[in-house]
Structure 1
C-alpha cells in the first residue's frame, strides 16, 4: 500500500467503524424497546434520575441526528466517481454531417498517456458540446511516478493534439491520479513542444 492510499483507507476504516457502532447502538435500543434483549427494562429511564429531560434536549438530539445523516449521505455521494456523460460528436462537412464517438476521439490520447513513464493505465471521458467541451482523465500510476511531469506532458502535447484534432478553441481538462504500491524506474517524460500549451489540464 502506497503512502498516497493510506489516508483514504484510514478514512474509510474509521467511517466503517463509526457506522458499525451506530448500527450496534440502534440495534440495542430497538432490542431493548421491544423486549428482545433482557439487559434493561423497556420502560426504564434512558438517563438517571426521575425528571424527564427538557423538551429542547429532544429537539437538539433530533437535529444532531439529521446533521449526521446528511453528512453521511454527502460522504456516500462523494464516493461515486463523477465523470461527465460522453456522447457522439457531430461535425458538419461539405458532404454532410459526420459522427464521431467520444471514446474514439480520446483513444489516441489515452494510448499516448499510457506510454508516459510511471503510467500503468489511463481512461477518459470527453463530454459537453463543441461550445462547452469537457475532458476528464483518470490515470493509474506507479507509486514513485511524477504527476507533475505527466501533467506537463498532457498540457504540452496530448491535450493540445486532441484539441486540434477536434478543432476546438479550448478543452478544459481535469486529471485524477490513482497510485498503486508498484514502483518503477525513474525516467523523464519526453520533452514537449513548448509552443503548444493551450487547452492543457
Structure 2
C-alpha cells in the first residue's frame, strides 16, 4: 500500500468488521428462526404490544438512516477518486507528417523506475495528471531505513524530475512528493 492510498487499510478493516457483524447477525437470525437457541421462541413477537410507536421514533429512524446512507455514499465516492487516471498525450512537432501518442502512465512508470534505481529507495510509485503542456507529478517514495531524506529529496528533484521535464519539454512541473521509511524488517527488492 502506498502512502497516497492511506484509506485503503482503514476501508479493509471497516469492511471486514461490517461483514463479520452482518454474518453473525444473519447466523443468529437463522438460528433463532430454526429454534436452535433454547431461550429464543420463534413464535414470540419481535416487539411487545401491537400499538404503533410514538412519532418521534419514526423520525429518529428516518434521520439515522438518512445520515448513515449519506455517509456510505461519501465513503463510496471517496473510493472512486484515488489517483489521477492516465491520459494520452499527443506530441506533434511543427512541420512533421506524423504524431506520437504517449500515455501519462508510461512516463510515470519511467520516473518511478528511475527513482527506484537509487540505492536509498525501497519502492517508488508515480502518477502524472493533467495535459502534456502542464502536467502534475505525484510521487510516493519509500526510503530504506536510515536514508538521508533531504539528500534523497534533492536527488529526486535534481535528477529524475529534471529528466522528466526535459523529456516532456515543460518548464514547470508541480510535484507532490510523499516520502516515508520502510520498516526495518523489510527486504529491499532485487534490482
User: What secondary structure sits across from 1:59 in the alignment?
Assistant: helix
CA gap of 1:130–1:72, structure 2 versus 1, over 3 A, is: same
Report which of the two has the higher share of helix: 2
Match of 1:92 in 2: 92
User: What secondary structure sits across from 2:176 in the alignment?
Assistant: strand
Quote the offset at 1:100 in angstroms: 4.5
CA gap of 1:54–1:77, structure 2 versus 1, over 3 A, is: same
CA gap of 1:94–1:131, structure 2 versus 1, over 3 A, is: closer
**Structure 1 segment 94-113 matched on structure 2, within 5 A:** 94-96=94-96, 97-101=98-102, 102-113=104-115
Superposed CA deviations along residues 64-104 of structure 1, whole A, max 9, x for unmatched, are: 23323443454455456722222332233244253142344
CA gap of 1:111–1:179, structure 2 versus 1, over 3 A, is: same
- State how far apart, in whole Å, the 2-side matches of 1:88 and 1:9 are: 31
Unaligned 5+ segments in structure 1 are 1-6, 186-201
**Structure 1 segment 89-168 matched on structure 2, within 5 A:** 89-96=89-96, 97-101=98-102, 102-142=104-144, 149-168=151-170
Match status 1:67 vs 2:67: yes
Q: What value does the CA root-mean-square deviation take over the aligned residues?
A: 3.9
CA gap of 1:9–1:28, structure 2 versus 1, over 3 A, is: same
Unaligned 5+ segments in structure 2 are 1-6
Match of 1:25 in 2: 25
Q: How many equivalent residue pairs?
A: 175
- State how far apart, in whole Å, the 1-side matches of 2:43 and 2:55 are: 21
CA gap of 1:147–1:61, structure 2 versus 1, over 3 A, is: farther
- State how far apart, in whole Å, the 1-side matches of 2:121 and 2:132 are: 29
Q: TM-score, normalized by length of structure 1?
A: 0.61
- State how far apart, in whole Å, the 2-side matches of 1:24 and 1:93 are: 64
User: What secondary structure sits across from 1:126 in the alignment?
Assistant: strand
User: What secondary structure sits across from 1:61 in the alignment?
Assistant: helix
Match status 1:170 vs 2:172: yes
User: What secondary structure sits across from 2:165 in the alignment?
Assistant: helix
User: What secondary structure sits across from 2:82 in the alignment?
Assistant: coil
Superposed CA deviations along residues 114-134 of structure 1, whole A, max 9, x for unmatched, are: 133442332323232134422
